[in-house]
Every structure is written in C-alpha cells, then in structure tokens.
A and B are shown apart, each in its own frame.
Chain A
Amino acid sequence: MLMFALRRILVSIPVLIGITLILFIMLNVVPGDPVALMMKEHASAEVIARVRAQMHLDDPMITRYFSFLWNAVQGDLGNSIKLNRPVTDLILKAFPNTLMLAVCAALVSWIIGIPAGILSAVRRDSLLDRFFMGFSLLGVSMPIFWSALLLQYVFAMKLKLLPVSGFYGWKYMILPAIVLGWSSAGVIARLTRSSLLEVMRHDYIRTARAKGLRETGVISRHALKNALIPVVTIMAIQVASLLSGAVITEAIFSIPGVGRITVNAISSRDMPLLQGAVLFATALVILGNLVADILYAVLDPRIREQMKKAS
C-alpha cells in the first residue's frame, strides 16, 4: 500500500513539472514587454530597464525556466510586480481563506448530495426522486456567478439575512459555501443515485435478499459500500472544479483568497503572481487526484489485489 502511494507520488511529479513548463511558456511568450504593460502609468525607460534586469527578463528562456524551477522547489515563486512582495507570501496568506471556502463548500455538497442521491435511488421515479434530480440538474446548469448574484440579491440585499460580501466571520461564509457547494452537490447526488441503482442490479444483492435481510439492511450493508466507491473518488477530484468555482465566488463575495488574487493578477498583468497562483492551484488538483487514487485502493479490495500483483 505504501509502495503504491509512493509510486503514485513519483508519477505525479513529472506531471507537475510538465505543467510548470507549459505554464511558463504560455505566460512568457506574451508579446510585448510585461513590465512596460504593467507600469503603464510611470513608464520611464530607466525604471523599466531596471526592473527588467532585476527580473532577469532578458536572459534566455531556458535559463529563466530552470532558475524559476529551482527557486520554486525552494519555495520562492518570485515577486509580484505590482505589489512588490514575494508571491509565496501572498499566496500563503490568501490560501487559508480559499481552503475554508472550499472545505465548507465540499461539506455542503457531501451532506446534501449523498443522502439526496441515496434517497433518490431508493425511491426511484417518485416525486422525491424527481425533485432531488431536478435540484441537482439546476445546480449543474446554473453558472456560479449567476447563482451567487441571485442568492446575494435575495438573502443579503432584499431579506437582509446575511452579509453581502466580505470576510469577517463565519456568517460571511454561508452564502459563498452554498453557492459553491450547490453545483458540486448536484454532481454528487446524480452520481450517487446512478451508482446505487447500478449496484442494486448486481447478483450479490439478490444473494443478500435470499438470506432474509431486510431491504434497509440490504442497502446499508451490501449496496452502499460498493456504490460509494466511485462517489468518494469523485469527491477528491472535485477539487479542480471547486477551485475554478472559487475564483468566481471569491470575486463576487470579496473573499481574499487565491481566486481573487488570480483575477487581480490578470487584470493588472502581474505575471509572477498569476504564475504562482495557477501553479499552486494545479498542485492542489494533482494532490486531490492522488488522494482519490489512494482512497479508491483503500476502499476496493480488488484494486489492492491488482496493486499487489503489479508490484
């Protein structure tokens, strides 16, 4: 098991490096002088030249890439041009907020999504089923920025139940978490439902019934564990979509997280900051995939068997 985990980690590293390469290339082939673009206001030639030298912008691409990589491994992601502070510091300061948002949203999605999916499957084609699946479909089809605005309008502006934006206490987390968690909940509910329905068709469910087990027992002791395996692995992969959604959610609710940093970095053309933030986000996604793979192995003994054979 440990070997498996180690091997997966080892495989992830080249992927991460490959991504840094792609990212680096994309961000550094921007036509035009990044510094000049950024400092449009006070664009004196000497200042620009000085900053460029400081950032080694005139060195060949390969050198710059490797020095970036070398620094990144040591935790130095460069300096934000606009704010003139280390990118790593800015990200580390913003990350806990995003983490909190993501965790709350994830909790919302699991607490709502899994029971909804189970109930829908057990009471298939009933009104409850249609309601839950309709709700899920809505969650998946509504753009996050729109549902955010809608909820903000209804609950914050009109009903004045919750704060509009900002980040000064747990109350400020409710709307953002719901908005972000809603679409995730939809995905999880649909997956849980279809997974459970699929599992219920298997022969071993018939065997369980043949033993005289009550239907609730059949579901809880035989069906659920099998059905939840794909759901659990999806949850870890949801990290990617949660991060994408966080970008928008943070923008609308003015939450100082990594997402907002990204948006600001783009509008102020702050390349190092953008690079650092996206890299960070991607590393998180890769971590999430890793956890998903390991979880899958933990839950399904057949996979563990395959792994043992492979090593």
Chain B
Amino acid sequence: MTASSDTILSVRGLRTEFKGDRGHVRVLDDVSFDVGRGKIVGLVGESGSGKSMTALSLMGLVPKPQGHVSASSILLDGTDISRLDAAGMRRIRGRDIAMVFQEPMTSLNPVRRVWEQVGEPLAIHKGLGRRAIRARVLEMFELVGIPEPKTRLDAYPHELSGGLRQRAMIAMGLICEPKLLIADEPTTALDVTTQAQILRLMRDLRDRVGTSIIMITHDLGIIAEMCDEVNVMYAGQMVEQADVFDLFERPSHPYTRGLLASIPRATEPRTARRMPSIPGMVPNLAKLPPGCRFSPRCGDVMPICQRAPDLVGIGSGHAARCWLHAPQDALPQEGTS
C-alpha cells in the first residue's frame, strides 16, 4: 500500500521495546499499516497482541525510559511524527491525533467538572478562554448526542452513566478536530445497548465530519460492523491486512481463520461438537518460538515455518504473514515439503 494524499496515516516499521530485568522485550515488531482519509480501520487481536501498544506508541504515551519506540516513518497527513521530540509530540497530541480509552468509568478525573476536562485540549492547544471553551464543549456535547447538554456541562463524572461518559470522552477526543482518532476498545466496558449507540455515533461522525478512525478491538463483530479495512495482530506482529469483506470471505492467515471459526454462530445447527477454539496459548514475548510466532498453534504448520515469514501481498490490497501464501520463488527448494 503506497502513501498518497488519500492516506491520513502511514506507519512503517514501528518497533517498540521494553527494558526489563532480563534484557529487552520487543512488544511491537515491524508494524506497518495505512489509514485512509475518512476511513475506519480496525486493529484486531487478543490481549497481548500489541494492538493497544500500537496506539500508545503512535500517541507517544509509552512510558520512558523503560519503553523505547522507533519507526522508519510515521506519516500523519504528510508529516513524519516519529522524528518529533517530546515537546513536539505534546503539541500534536490531543490536537492532531487523539485517543479514546477503554474505561470511561476511570478515565475521567473525579474531582473536576466534565466541561473543564472535555474542553481542556482547547485550553492547551488553542488557548481559548473559559467562555469560548464552554460554548465549544456544548457544541461537542450536541454533536455526540448527549441529551440535555447544557445541564451536563457542570456535572462531575460520577454523575454520568457509562455511555454518557464515553460520549464525553469522544467529544474530548474530537474537540480540536484531529486528523485521526484512535479508539481503544471504546465499547468493551459498556452494556450491549450502549455499545450499539456508541458505535452508531462513531459511524455517524465518520460520515458527517469525515473523521478518520483507528478502531482497536478484540471483537470481530465490531470489526464487521464498523471497519472499512482490517489489520490483524498477533504477538506484536501484523499477520494479516485486508479490506473488511475480503477478510471475512477469504481469511488467509491460519490465526484469522481460527478467530473466525471460533465465533459462536446462532445459525449453526446445534451439534454435540464442542466450541472450536485455537489450541495453545499466546506466546511469551520474552521467549518467542523460532520462525513464525503462530507456528506452535497452527494446524497447517510446515517445516519451513521455522523461518520467520514476511508480510507479503496476496492481491487486491490483501496481505498475510504466512508461508502458505508466500510467492513460490520465496520458498526454498527442498524437494517435497
């Protein structure tokens, strides 16, 4: 995928390491992907796959000095933000790239009023005064569909429900009209009804305002409903990338196939068969298996999987990190394999 003016974010070679007692652990290894302007791009994987870490790395929120982020390039609307120093990152954080977190219950400061917190990015980046901020926050509240917005301005977080708090968080993320919004499991902590409302809101925003969104989730249902493109992560690596329809119709990586197979379907005939799941466990990032990280759990494992596969395109914007789909000339000649 090549960068163009239709791409709002282009990440190449993102690598994040942590210094521990026993040496360095690479939590993100050579992660690359694009986000198209006005698109919702999904980042899916299990806990520990590195999806949240990707978001934090992009935002510059990885704690230093234990953590270290590097990349060949991270182009946000043309500017390479990987070269920015701390002050530079601070300037764009909240203004050009914003994040909505998973836990609305605890992500807001309990002792300050909601309008102050939602409007804070305006104070930081645009230097607006109290009155102007209040007015803007009111507009945003209306935009994100908070009922009776005027009365909610002066509320404290604990006075709002989970759904309202998450809407407020989204308002907070959008208030400076960022180029990119990263939503890290925004609905996981909410009940099903509220979840649907929030997702609808986000699609709405994409349609009306043209916000580009990275949607991080472990829920394939949300991916199917929301995303235009999908990136699948496993053990700190990108293992499959595709257009959403392509991913569901032609999953290429065994991990993706395993994920899709393990979704319980209401329409399947009720058999005595147990619920399928992917055998084994997510690997310990400090003690990775040689070669393909998924090989210990893969049903289609081959001897060549001892060598780490690259992420290669398999046609029409679809890429996978798997020897099953590698071009023939990349495979070593070893008789019958």
A and B touch in the complex (CB under 8 A): yes
Q: How far is the CB of B140 from chain A (nearest CB, A)?
A: 14
If A203-B101, A301-B158 touch, whether A209 touches B111 (CB-CB below 8 Å) is no
Cβ–Cβ < 8 Å partners of B99 in chain A = 210
| Residues A204 and B156 in contact, CB atoms below 8 Å apart | no
Nearest B residue (CB) for A305: B158
A38 interface contact, C-beta 8 A: no
Encode B86-112 as 1/0 by CB contact (under 8 A) with A. Answer: 000011111100110101001111111
| Residues A211 and B159 in contact, CB atoms below 8 Å apart | no
The CA-CA distance from A135 to B80 in the complex, in Å, is: 48
Encode A297-311 as 1/0 by CB contact (under 8 A) with B. Answer: 001111001000000
| Residues B111 and A210 in contact, CB atoms below 8 Å apart | no
Within 8 A of B (CB), among A255-311: 299-302, 305
| Residues B90 and A226 in contact, CB atoms below 8 Å apart | no
A214 interface contact, C-beta 8 A: yes
B156 touches which of A209, A214, A302 (Cβ 8 Å): A302
Cβ–Cβ < 8 Å partners of A209 in chain B = 61, 93
A206 interface contact, C-beta 8 A: yes
B121 touches which of A212, A225, A229, A302 (Cβ 8 Å): A212
Q: How large is the interface on A (under 10, 10 to 19, 20 to 34, 35 or more residues)?
A: 20 to 34
| Residues B109 and A226 in contact, CB atoms below 8 Å apart | yes
Nearest B residue (CB) for A302: B158
Cβ–Cβ < 8 Å partners of B156 in chain A = 301-302, 305
The CA-CA distance from A210 to B172 in the complex, in Å, is: 10
Cβ–Cβ < 8 Å partners of A229 in chain B = 111
- Total A-B contacts with CB atoms under 8 angstroms apart: 74
The CA-CA distance from A309 to B256 in the complex, in Å, is: 50
Cβ–Cβ < 8 Å partners of B172 in chain A = 207, 211
A17 interface contact, C-beta 8 A: no
B34 interface contact, C-beta 8 A: no
| Residues B93 and A204 in contact, CB atoms below 8 Å apart | no
| Residues B121 and A211 in contact, CB atoms below 8 Å apart | yes
| Residues A206 and B110 in contact, CB atoms below 8 Å apart | no
If A300-B111, A301-B156 touch, whether A212 touches B124 (CB-CB below 8 Å) is yes
Cβ–Cβ < 8 Å partners of B112 in chain A = 222, 225
| Residues B109 and A212 in contact, CB atoms below 8 Å apart | no
Q: How far is the CB of B58 from chain A (nearest CB, A)?
A: 11
Cβ–Cβ < 8 Å partners of B108 in chain A = 204, 207
A208 interface contact, C-beta 8 A: yes
B120 interface contact, C-beta 8 A: yes
Cβ–Cβ < 8 Å partners of A211 in chain B = 93-94, 98, 120-121, 124, 172
| Residues B92 and A212 in contact, CB atoms below 8 Å apart | yes
Nearest A residue (CB) for B55: A210
Q: How far is the CB of A212 from chain B (nearest CB, A)?
A: 4
A213 interface contact, C-beta 8 A: yes
- Looking at A207, A211, A213, A226, the one whose CB has the most chain B CB atoms below 10 A away is A211
Within 8 A of A (CB), among B122-142: 124-125
- Looking at B91, B94, B121, B169, the one whose CB has the most chain A CB atoms below 10 A away is B94
Cβ–Cβ < 8 Å partners of A208 in chain B = 109, 120
A158 interface contact, C-beta 8 A: no
The CA-CA distance from A217 to B90 in the complex, in Å, is: 12
A202 interface contact, C-beta 8 A: yes
The CA-CA distance from A229 to B101 in the complex, in Å, is: 26
Cβ–Cβ < 8 Å partners of A213 in chain B = 90, 94, 120, 124
Some 27 contacts from A to B, beta carbons below 8 A apart, are: A204-B109, A206-B107, A207-B108, A207-B109, A208-B109, A208-B120, A209-B61, A209-B93, A210-B61, A211-B94, A211-B98, A211-B172, A212-B95, A212-B121, A212-B124, A225-B111, A226-B109, A226-B110, A226-B111, A229-B111, A299-B111, A300-B111, A301-B111, A301-B156, A302-B110, A305-B156, A305-B158
CB within 8 Å of A: which residues of B?
A: 59, 61, 90-95, 98-99, 101, 103, 106-112, 117, 120-121, 124-125, 156, 158-159, 169, 172
Apart from A203-B103, A210-B59, list 6 A-B contacts with CB within 8 A. Answer: A210-B98, A210-B99, A222-B112, A299-B111, A302-B110, A305-B158
Top 4 A-B pairs ranked by shortest CB distance? A212-B94, A212-B93, A211-B94, A203-B106
